[in-house]
Structure 1
Amino acid sequence: MIPAGWTPRTAFTELVGCRYPIVQTGMGYVAGARLAAATSNAGGLGIIAAATMSVERMTAAIRSVKDRTGAPFGVNIRSDADDARERVEVMIREGVRVASFALAPRRELIARLKDAGVVTMPSVGARRHAEKVAAWGVDAVIVQGGEGGGHTGPVPTTLLLPQVVDAVDVPVVAAGGFFDGRGLVAALAYGAAGVAMGTRFLLTSDSTVGEEVKKLYLGASDTLVTTRVDGVPHRVLRTPFVESLERGGRLRGLARAVANGARFKKISGLTWPEMIREGRRMRHGRDLTWAQVLQAANTPMLLRAAMVDGRADLGVMAAGQVVSVIDDLPSCEELIARIMAEAHDALSVLPATDNDH
């Protein structure tokens, strides 16, 4: 019999210090201070998506979370950014518990964070990537299967997760296709130390995404993986705008990328030489063509159009396949409490093992 109020203690909860093995992922223009603090206050691990923020805004967001909660939280940054080292120093100075990375962090960043007692946790989409960063000394990994939103790979979570669990000796957090307590139990059974969710936390009352955009998510039934956003596979909601991107020619896409690059330059404050240097790093670190690097400017601008400006007709909405089974907007506290109750119920109905027969 599973006791009421059951709380699983896993290698991840022990490492990070959160109550429940549930992570809210760092979604650009979505995971700000309010959502991260609400998640951490509810017992999960909230993560600020700082890759789309300036260093000053990132610092302000960290301090805002600290004002709202005493629970551990994380910050997600791009390890290939020009100012990655500066951002790391801010996280250390501000006492951030977890440093999260969308790409493999550089070895020197891992070493600096570990020396300061900050947990390092990159996201990976392949077993070989997990093996590489584990050998470099990261503390944990988030492994995302193909069901997940945003940049994703072709291997489903049910195949990728056990491969990674068997390959590395650090806690593995499973992402891609999770939204309830049954999924949490399944992930733990596979050997994961927790689950990470993006779309499910986006669709909460604590998310700052506009209500009209949330309605589009709640009414959605389909996603697609497109390379027309930034040249690499990206899972988004199927919308008329995305379908127009799919129909558009290559030259039209590159022209849009140039225009978006200019807009991103204005908003970010980067100079053209800084953007070119950043493009070179992206090309080297991710094995991209120059056309793909140019298209990468589309990502922040097209996400911003939908998530900040509310213009779904002019932007894209990253979404995992779970969007088709989500139909409500609970608070983070209500969501996490529900997931844990569902996990308890899922375990309670499993057949008992009779050691005598």
Structure 2
Amino acid sequence: MRTALTELTGVDHPVVQTGMGWVSGPRLVSATANAGALGLLASATMSLEQLEAAILEVRGRTDRPFGVNLRADAGDAADRVELLIRHGVKVASFALAPKPELIARLKEHGIVVMPSVGAARHAEKVAAWGADLVMVQGGEGGGHTGSVPTTLLLPSVLDAVGIPVVAAGGFFDGRGLAAALSYGAAGIGMGTRFLLTSDSAVPDPVKRRYLAFGLDGTVVTTRADGMPHRLLRTEFVEDLEHTGALGRLAATARRTLAFKRMSGLSWPALLADGRRMRRTSDRDWAQVMQAANTPMLLKAGLVDGDTSAGMLASGQVVGLIDDLPSCEELVDRVVRDAVRRLAAAHGTALTGQDAPAGQ
């Protein structure tokens, strides 16, 4: 299956494993890469030294192309870009629009630039700055998300830009890949589906808990970090929804201190990050303080396995997933099913027309 995504990145299949904090580590990324898809290391929860170690670990596990997901507003974003250049990483993806100079620096060294966007106007901006392709995530997706569903967001972005578009939010099987390609996308991004594989480092009891949820098992809340966040509807999240402002403030302060210790950031660096976040995302200071909750709350659930004290990001597709295949098994069946469905649709479209011999 050759598309603009596979041509640009050098992978075999038009499937992307998205960059999920605490989930998209070397084990999952290398397994995805070895399966012929594009794996993205999630670096937002890593220090610069940890990111370099993770890149080297992926390099030791695979010789296939992979990428790194970066925070465009991070204080050391330029240093991280230089790290990608030094180690020859194939793709740089961004959760927010990177500055034009970062895009230019990456492209100078042949690194494919793929920002994630939530609206057509954002896609137009990064396309004008030189991005090679964009990923769009509809409201069905897990983690930070918008309100527009993929079926509307995707065509609006396709109509707005001339660069390839990768569709994310609500994808988990070959039907989704076939549909996205039919829309005109260059491939799909999947997060929750890759989280729920045997190659994911998320603790098995947590994975089993994911599998128990139905289509109504997620909720979008702003109580975690001030921005819309799609999470599993756990007891912890239900309590978070009903906790008063004073209680949330005390918890926020504790987690901010924990995040500072974990990241090794100084108070001036942490405040500088907060100012950049406020400026680029239009959050107020209360929301910026809450944003420090996210890494620690996700770590509690996804790394420590403590779902009573942490939150679990999830797309709505969790209600349609019932197994834990390897990345190789997952990618193979998604692509095979998409090819079969596209071939069947092609035959249907030719019915009653001058179909080629054998159709």
TM norm structure 1: 0.97
Cα distance, 1:355 vs structure 2: 3.2
Q: Identify the residue that residue 355 of structure 1 maps to in structure 2.
A: 353
Measure, in 2, the Cα distance between the counterparts of 1:10 and 1:165: 15
Cα distance, 1:352 vs structure 2: 4.1
The question of 1:212 aligning with 2:208 is answered no
Q: Identify the residue that residue 96 of structure 2 maps to in structure 1.
A: 103
Matches within 5 A, 1:241-260: 241-260=236-255
Equivalent in 4, 14, 17 of residue 11 of structure 1: 4
Q: Identify the residue that residue 278 of structure 1 maps to in structure 2.
A: 273
Equivalent position amino acid for 2:90 in 1 = R
Aligned-residue sequence identity (percent) comes to 64
Cα distance, 1:259 vs structure 2: 1.0
CA RMSD of aligned residues (A): 1.0
Equivalent in 125, 129, 139 of residue 136 of structure 1: 129
Measure, in 2, the Cα distance between the counterparts of 1:356 and 1:72: 42
Equivalent position amino acid for 2:17 in 1 = Q
Q: Identify the residue that residue 69 of structure 1 maps to in structure 2.
A: 62
Equivalent position amino acid for 1:314 in 2 = A
Cα distance, 1:203 vs structure 2: 0.3
Measure, in 1, the Cα distance between the counterparts of 2:108 and 2:28: 28
The question of 1:173 aligning with 2:166 is answered yes
Q: Which runs of 5+ in 1 are unaligned?
A: 1-7
Equivalent position amino acid for 1:38 in 2 = A
Q: Which runs of 5+ in 2 are unaligned?
A: none
Measure, in 1, the Cα distance between the counterparts of 2:112 and 2:256: 33
Cα distance, 1:108 vs structure 2: 1.1
SS state of the match for residue 173, structure 1?
strand
Cα distance, 1:124 vs structure 2: 0.7
Equivalent in 150, 157, 160 of residue 164 of structure 1: 157
Q: Identify the residue that residue 194 of structure 1 maps to in structure 2.
A: 187
Cα distance, 1:356 vs structure 2: 3.4
Cα distance, 1:22 vs structure 2: 0.1
Measure, in 2, the Cα distance between the counterparts of 1:330 and 1:303: 23
Measure, in 2, the Cα distance between the counterparts of 1:326 and 1:72: 27
Equivalent in 9, 20, 44 of residue 37 of structure 2: 44
Q: Identify the residue that residue 324 of structure 2 maps to in structure 1.
A: 329
TM norm structure 2: 0.96
The question of 1:338 aligning with 2:336 is answered no
Q: Identify the residue that residue 294 of structure 1 maps to in structure 2.
A: 289
Cα distance, 1:168 vs structure 2: 0.6
Equivalent position amino acid for 1:355 in 2 = Q
Count matched residues.
Answer: 350
Is 175-184 or 120-129 further displaced after alignment?
Answer: 120-129
Equivalent position amino acid for 2:15 in 1 = I
Cα distance, 1:79 vs structure 2: 1.1
Measure, in 1, the Cα distance between the counterparts of 2:3 and 2:353: 25
Cα distance, 1:348 vs structure 2: 3.4
Cα distance, 1:113 vs structure 2: 0.4
Q: Identify the residue that residue 23 of structure 2 maps to in structure 1.
A: 30
SS state of the match for residue 349, structure 1?
helix
Measure, in 1, the Cα distance between the counterparts of 2:79 and 2:98: 14
Measure, in 2, the Cα distance between the counterparts of 1:79 and 1:318: 21
Equivalent position amino acid for 1:210 in 2 = P
Measure, in 2, the Cα distance between the counterparts of 1:230 and 1:121: 25
Q: Identify the residue that residue 4 of structure 1 maps to in structure 2.
A: none
Cα distance, 1:347 vs structure 2: 2.1
Measure, in 2, the Cα distance between the counterparts of 1:106 and 1:356: 51
The question of 1:269 aligning with 2:245 is answered no
Q: Which runs of 4+ in 1 moved over 6 A?
A: none
SS state of the match for residue 12, structure 2?
coil
